[in-house]
Amino acid sequence: MSTQKLHIGIIGAGRIGRVHAETLAFRLPESQIVSITDVNREAAQALAARCNIPKVAASSDEILADKQIEVVLICSSTNTHADLIAQAAKAGKHIFCEKPIAFSLEQIDHALAAVKTAGVQLQIGFNRRFDANFARVRQAVASGEIGTPSLMHIISRDPAPPPLSYVKVSGGIFMDMTIHDFDMARFLIGDEVEEIYTAAGVRVDPEIGKAGDLDTALIVLRFRNGVIGTIDNSRKAVYGYDQRVEILGSKGKIATENFYPNQIVISTGDTVYKDLPLNFFMDRYTESFVAELQSFIAAVLEKRTTAVTGIDGRIPVAMALAARKSYDEHRPVRLSEVGG
């Protein structure tokens, strides 16, 4: 492996592929993108031109067969992730893969077994762990700064629902949206969830319900250590991207608020107000996307365990399955019931 730069191939030139390609090209000099591919060749060509990527590969097979490539970023659709992880591992590539790994635990287990056999590094793209504010919340819990935690509340609401075409293939709200919050819950408390109870419905768009999904949910988590957590999700918050956390402990609490484009407060004779919060995840989490790739590249170069392992990718999927089962069956569900 090169001691100067990691040679990287990217599979997928969609929204998240663009984010990662630009981060690697313009923010991380220890990396070099040598090839990119996408089922939409024009998208791959456009991104290659923007990021000075010398080669647009015809397929993922071409990326994986390239001996120069040491690391593969998998940014394609979710239904391709597990197979691509297994193929990349067999090809001896280190792997960064977007979440979720797959919609089934069996597929995930197959992919993780291939990674273990090959002895390559794998990191899953749960970027919110690398947000400076959430990292500070974790520090406060881990250090005992707020004492023993007892309650955790995560608020995660999108500014607008995704297109119905996405809803129909996303795996549902628990797989494509809440999955980030499931990972954050484990990360912030530093323990595993034993049981999940879900109350949910369709409060934003009836068409989402017709597609078999939900758009509004409140999920209660019971951790092994006794902490009770709640996750509050909505597909639509008209005021912007709502991302907040509060944890109550025996010595106090710690909380994070939303990010705003500026810090101004306007005061008049009628009201006091400020501008709306940032309106999209790529604005809110810009630096966390950089930090997660920095962490991954460092782990590969230093030959150490990645910050978000394959198991860290598996458990939130089990939590998503339990959350849906709880909603469908109107009862609390233990993770052991779904293979978690």
Q: Are strands 216-223 and 193-201 parallel, antiparallel or unpaired?
A: antiparallel
Q: What is the pLDDT of residue 127?
A: 97
How far, in Å, CA of 73 to CA of 88, rounded? 10
Do you know the residue count of the chain?
340
Q: Is the peptide bond before 100 cis (omega within 30 degrees of 0)?
A: yes
Q: How far apart are CA 219 and CA 316, in angstroms?
A: 13
Minimal CA–CA distance to 17: which of 96, 82, 74, 94?
74
Q: What is the CATH number of domain 129-279+316-338?
A: 3.30.360.10
Does the fold of domain 129-279+316-338 match that of domain 6-120?
A: no
pLDDT in single tens digits along all 340 residues of the chain = 445 689 999 999 999 999 999 999 999 999 999 999 999 999 999 999 999 999 999 999 999 999 999 999 999 999 999 999 999 999 999 999 999 999 999 999 999 999 999 999 999 999 999 999 999 999 999 999 999 999 999 999 999 999 999 999 999 999 999 999 999 999 999 999 999 999 999 999 999 999 999 999 999 999 999 999 999 999 999 999 999 999 999 999 999 999 999 999 999 999 999 999 999 888 899 999 999 999 999 999 999 999 999 999 999 999 999 999 999 999 999 999 999 8
CA 236 to CA 22: how far, in whole Å? 28
- Give the C-alpha distances (Å, rounded to integers) separating 18 from 12, 36, 44, 294, 340: 8, 11, 9, 16, 33
Instruction: Say if CB 256 and CB 249 are below 8 A apart.
Output: no
The predicted pLDDT at position 3 comes to 56
Structure pTM? 0.96
Q: Which fold has domain 6-120?
A: Rossmann fold (3.40.50)
Question: C-alpha dihedral over 283, 288, 291, 297, to 10 degrees?
Answer: -90
* Measured CA angle at 55 (ends 52, 57), to 5 deg: 135
Domain boundaries, the chain: 6-120, 129-279+316-338
pLDDT at 1: 43
Residue 280 pLDDT: 83
Residues 6+ apart with CB under 8 A from 195: 221, 222, 332, 333, 334, 335
Residues facing residue 272 across a β-bridge: 267
Question: Residue 207 belongs to what H/E stretch?
Answer: helix 206-210
Angle between helices 15-27 and 286-302 (to 10 degrees): 70
Bridge partners of 245, per DSSP, are 154, 256
For 329, how many CA atoms within 13 A lie in the half-sphere containing its CB? 13
Q: How far is CA 85 from CA 71, 103, 311, in A?
A: 11, 14, 14
Hunting for tokens 């004492």 — which residue is that? 147
